[in-house]
Amino acid sequence: MDAYNITVVGGSGLVGQEFLKLLDERNIPVGRLRLLATARSAGRTVEFRGQTITIEETTPESFGPDDHIVFLSASGSASKQYAPIAASRGSFVIDDSSAYRMDPNVPLVIPEINADDLAWHRGIVSQPNCTTTPMLLALAPIHRVNPLRRVIVSTYQAVAGAGAAAVEGLRRETEAALAGRHEPSGTQKREIAFNAVPQIDVFAEDGYTKEEIKMANETRKILHAPEVAVSATCVRIPTFFGHAMSVWAEFERPIDAAEARRLMEGAPGLTLMDDPAREQYPTPMDAAGTDAVLVGRLRNDTSKPGGITFWTVTDSIRKGAATNVVQIIEEAARRGLIRPAGS
Ligand SMILES: NC(=O)c1ccc[n+]([C@@H]2O[C@H](COP(=O)([O-])OP(=O)(O)OC[C@H]3O[C@@H](n4cnc5c(N)ncnc54)[C@H](OP(=O)(O)O)[C@@H]3O)[C@@H](O)[C@H]2O)c1
């Protein structure tokens, strides 16, 4: 793989910092690395492969023809502002926000599932919500042979999914609560310590939140299955890292848990951790810091024969975000979709 010049917008954030770790872990050759953020973090330094990199403030002038890859991991508004600029200067842009996910001109990619969609990128590639990716990695091996028809999902999402301030917010709220005080940090819609909050993002008119709507729309786009029905309930819980969810799924033809297990076993990116006899199943702590999508509690849906239900857990800032981005880079480089380094 060529040594590309990489610029990260959001380089001081949770995902941006995890991305740097992953470049190292996966031995990605890097030419010149630049880290951008807001004026708040400008001037801070970060060590990367023996170099001290100073974080700079992002401006429209930050992007030039020598950036081979620009990773935007800041906010939807920053992505809307900067992605077109970076793409117009010839960079391969990967966007981690929801700004372009449903844009018909932008591929939305989980490399293990729809890497071929990278071929039609026009400068920007989008990456799915951190709940969509694990759910689809678990469902895709079945969908390939027996098309998905309907999903009902309830999530149990860690505060890391809302960024560094939310992690700090839970820590502060927990300390206060243990000292007998209620001090909401304002990082979630309600006090989150020792609580569960069934609202992530804002409500739409139909009573679903935008997070829930994202899971439905992104599922249909990634699986190329516009008719799949999805109903999601997304809940924030007071864990730091690792998003969990329980999933009920129906397919075109009836399936049972034994067949689902055979299809999931060995599927890329998926690890079964499922042995009720030994009380074995994944928890957020098992997933934190790993790239695995862990699946357990796989069983028949007794409410409606022919369907299955299972539990899955993933680290939202790893496979839910940074790992998927590094895999997109690896796959795009392998397919010659990134401008050659040096050009
Ligand atoms: N956390 C997850 O599990 C996850 C998963 C999937 C996708 N995402 C998406 O990834 C993005 C980053 O998430 P995160 O968890 O890393 O958040 P974070 O910890 O809050 O970090 C946000 C980063 O973006 C920078 N930033 C914010 N507004 C900016 C602007 N207008 N211009 C330039 N830089 C700006 C911040 O800079 P300062 O340090 O200067 O404030 C910081 O570096 C978000 O779009 C999020 O939706 C996150």
d(CA 335, CA 343): 17
Specify the amino acid at residue 196: A
Q: Is the CB of 73 under 6 A from ligand 1?
A: yes
Instruction: Specify whether 307 is located in the same domain as 267.
Output: yes
Domain housing 200: 132-158+196-316
Indicate whether 187 pLDDT > 90. yes
* CATH at 229: 3.30.360.10
* CATH at 36: 3.40.50.720
Instruction: Specify whether 143 is located in the same domain as 62.
Output: no
Does residue 268 lie in a domain region?
A: yes
Instruction: Specify whether 302 is located in the same domain as 249.
Output: yes
Q: 182 catalytic, yes or no?
A: no
Catalytic residue among 68, 121, 130, 234: 130
pLDDT in tens, 203-228: 999 999 999 999 999 999 999 999 99
Instruction: Specify whether 105 is located in the same domain as 138.
Output: no
* Probe target for ligand 1 pocket from 8, 9, 14, with the most ligand atoms within 8 Å of CB: 14
Q: Is the CB of 159 under 6 A from ligand 1?
A: no
Instruction: Specify whether 139 is located in the same domain as 286.
Output: yes
Does residue 163 lie in a domain region?
A: no
pLDDT in tens, 55-83: 999 999 999 999 999 999 999 999 999 99
pTM of the model: 0.96
Number of domains in the chain: 2
Instruction: Specify whether 145 is located in the same domain as 74.
Output: no
